[in-house]
Amino acid sequence: MIRIPKHIIDGIIAQGKAELPNEACGLLTGNGDTVAKQYPLTNVDHSPEHFAFDPREQFQVLKSARADGQKIIANYHSHPETPARPSEEDKRLAFDPNITYLILSLAAEEPVIKAFVVKDGDMVPEEIEVI
């Protein structure tokens, strides 16, 4: 399970909507299973179908997290027109079993966020507790 404050869920949704029609992306830091901070990142692909983090921004998040005594515990991206489930590309790029992968779908009237973890080479659902 991953525990995420409501204001961070709201921040992910707001970023996803603001970056339409492209995918939005970012990192979440914290300790254990609890998220403490959201870091919106630039999708350098500027695409509605895939994303790539800006490497310099990614490094800055790592430095900031370490300075705060935290770790990167999740990453997230949006699916502007498809459900909140891993695409084939998402599955191919998900290799770290130590973090959670969040997907925000903006395909329906109400946004949907789902979480996944890598187990035995596959992405399986993980529960989200909004705190």
Q: Is residue 127 part of a domain?
A: no
Please check whether residue 50 lies inside any domain of the structure: yes
Q: Which domain holds residue 29?
A: 2-111
Asked whether residue 105 is assigned to any structural domain, the reply reads yes
Would you state the structure tokens that stand for residue 49, as one six-digit string?
């179908």
The model's pLDDT over 53-102, given as tens digits with 9 standing for 90+, comes to 999 999 999 999 999 999 999 999 999 999 999 988 888 888 888 999 99
59, burial (CB in 10 Å: exposed 0-12, middle 13-18, buried 19+):
exposed
Query: How many residues would you count in the chain?
Result: 131
44 within domain boundaries:
yes
Is residue 23 assigned to a domain? Answer: yes
Predicted local confidence at residue 89, as pLDDT? 86
Q: Judging by DSSP bridges, how do beta strands 128-130 and 2-4 pair with one another? A: parallel
| Number of structural domains the chain divides into | 1
Q: What is the pLDDT of residue 91?
A: 83
Q: Is residue 45 part of a domain?
A: yes
128 lies in some domain? no
Please report whether residue 131 resides in a domain. no
Q: Residue 125 pLDDT > 90, yes or no? A: yes
- CATH number for the domain harbouring residue 35: 3.40.140.10
- For the entire predicted model, the pTM comes to 0.93
